[in-house]
Amino acid sequence: MVKDAFELALKKLSIRAYSQEELKNVLTKAGFGCRQTANALEKLAGMGYLNDEDLARDIYSYYTSRKPCGRILLTEKLKQKGIPSRTIDSILETFTAEKELNLAHQLAAKYMAKKPAAAGRSLARYLSARGFSYDIVRKIINCCSSVTNIYGD
């Protein structure tokens, strides 16, 4: 059993990255007091092991390059990790509407390659579930339906 909040926090951080809020919750659930928790978090932040902005950038990078999603889902993922709203806003400044539309196009193309007959509602549900706004989904659906109409499908 771990007796020190700092030791437990290091053990957790050796497995994966945590936000300050997440790690605070872990330490609190483990029975450490406010002072022990605060000291451990402060020490880890000072050592560079705990940085919400770096974590938010990593999450942003993952969800824009490897597992594309829309602004809505990306914001939710960052909030779930306990990233402060101010940090979320600054990270998402680079997530332009054009970038989001490009990601939606990529996902739609992959989806349509797997299910060519699944335009319309099915594609709209798929994109909505991945956090794309109604406007983005509508643009993609309009684009896909005009492409299929050209070929007579």
Same domain? For 42 and 58 the reply is: no
Place of tokens 């902005």: 53
Same domain? For 107 and 125 the reply is: yes
Domain containing residue 25: CATH number: 1.10.10
Same domain? For 62 and 80 the reply is: yes
| pLDDT, tens only, 35-55 | 999 999 999 999 999 999 999
From the list 118, 75, 67, 121, the residue with the least C-alpha distance to 95 is 75
Arithmetic mean of pLDDT, 5-15: 95
pTM recorded for the entire structure: 0.83
pLDDT tier at 143, thresholds 50, 70, 90: confident
Same domain? For 20 and 38 the reply is: yes
Same domain? For 89 and 57 the reply is: yes
Same domain? For 65 and 35 the reply is: no
| pLDDT, tens only, 58-85 | 999 999 999 999 999 999 999 999 999 9
Same domain? For 105 and 117 the reply is: yes
Q: What is the DSSP string of 91-142?
A: HGGG--HHHHHHHHHHHHHHHHHH-TT--THHHHHHHHHTT--HHHHHHHHH
Domain that holds residue 109: 97-150
Same domain? For 88 and 101 the reply is: no
pLDDT tier at 118, thresholds 50, 70, 90: low
**3-state DSSP call for residue 149?**
helix
pLDDT value of residue 1: 59
Of all residues in the chain, the percent with pLDDT exceeding 70 is 90
pLDDT value of residue 145: 63
Counting the structural domains of the chain, the total is 3
